[in-house]
Amino acid sequence: MPFRGTTLDREFLRQAVAEKRLNDGQLNEIMGAQSGLSDRGIHRAIPIIAHELGLLRRQVVEQLIRHVLRRVRPTCIGDYALLRQLGRGGMGVVYEAVHLRMKRTVAIKLLIRRDMSEKFIARFKREGYACARLRHENLVAAFDVGYVDGWHYFSMEYVDGPTISRTVKGNGPFSEVEGVRITRQVAEALACAHDNGIIHRDVKPGNIMITSGGDAKLCDLGLARIRNVDESELYEPGTTLGSRRYMSPEQARGLASVDARSDIYSLGLTLFLMLTGVPPFSDVPKADVMSEHLRGLLEWPADINQSISERACKIIWRMSAKEPDRRPQSSHELVKELRELEQALMQEAELVPGDFTRDTSPGLVDLASDGFEFEEGSETSNSDIIADTEHGE
């Protein structure tokens, strides 16, 4: 049968055969499926079809694409030349790429799912559109949302640094003033989102990147709630949204009407990790973490790291209070409190802006789990609290 795919499709199949991932029968099945879809006006990339048919797990698909990228340069999707894989999330894989006409380095997120239903495609597009609505120096900027060569994609700002998770894992806790400064920057980014009717719903260390200059960049709006947008067609009833280790009690209860204070709770637990070097509720079995958000008591941060001041401990506890009414009532209020604490800490340490140095070498960024075994994917069910990534998705 005539081959209807792109150069990337062809090289992907060659790599899969060379590595004995696919046999001749499976090869014909994939090409036949692509041809049948094309006849119906549906263009689907070969790697996605192989995953959809259950012939290749997503991790294998990603590995094969990485091997193709090393062997064939440039490997293009539309106007984008893929360079290397940066990370993965519950819905897609992120690559460093260059826009060939604009000569601009970007991060491009490609949708790879076994279930390529309209529901998932709509959610994926919504993430790109949500990013595009926002402009803030501490938010990863979106450039383009589209569909080309059988791939749904959106391109965004490339950040030359790791996430908070990887930074803590590699270098230990942040200093108090540095942790507070970065948290204040994220709170300012959230204020921008909240002012535009967007609740992030997945604030966590794996979704905050640190640039080479030491500044925070909040990313991944894949679970964002957008004001006046009906979500009934996007999520199954009873779905709990968020990452188990950092979701708010409201999210753990499956409430649909979470507000800005939910993001504040998650940011409080992120600051807890930054200053202690230990994830919240780290001594609790994974299966019991959800109940800790509802009824458990977060450890006093200074009991883990004695260098943390009482003021920082109190603001962490306020941000992560079980009842939303006991937290800062808006991201703007939180920014004000964090800025006051940051300025006091800088005066005590005789620091000036720019006195922050940390190894921020770019590394593989996992947008779902970020390499921490205790930081799961971003969508779970009340009846089955297992991350997408644990299913090979």
8 A C-beta contact, residue 226 and residue 358: no
8 A C-beta contact, residue 260 and residue 194: yes
Alpha-carbon gap, residue 104 to 108, rounded angstroms: 12
Neighbours of 351 (CB within 10 A): 16
Alpha-carbon gap, residue 26 to 20, rounded angstroms: 11
Start-end of H helices in the chain: 7-18, 24-39, 46-52, 58-71, 118-133, 164-171, 176-195, 249-252, 260-276, 289-295, 301-304, 310-319, 331-349
Beta-bridge mates of residue 97 = 82, 106
Q: Where do we find the tokens 């030359």?
A: 160
Which one from 9, 202, 220, 388 is the annotated catalytic residue? 202
Instruction: Identify the CA nearest to 272 among candidates 240, 237, 253, 300.
Output: 300
Q: What are phi and psi of 322, to 5 degrees?
A: -65, -40
Farthest-apart Cα atoms in the chain, separation: 73
Alpha-carbon gap, residue 89 to 112, rounded angstroms: 10
| Four-residue CA torsion sign, 198, 201, 203, 207 | negative
Residue 10: is it exposed, middle or buried by C-beta count within 10 angstroms (0-12/13-18/19+)? middle
202 is catalytic: yes
Tokens of 168: 């803590």
Alpha-carbon gap, residue 156 to 270, rounded angstroms: 24
Catalytic residues: 202
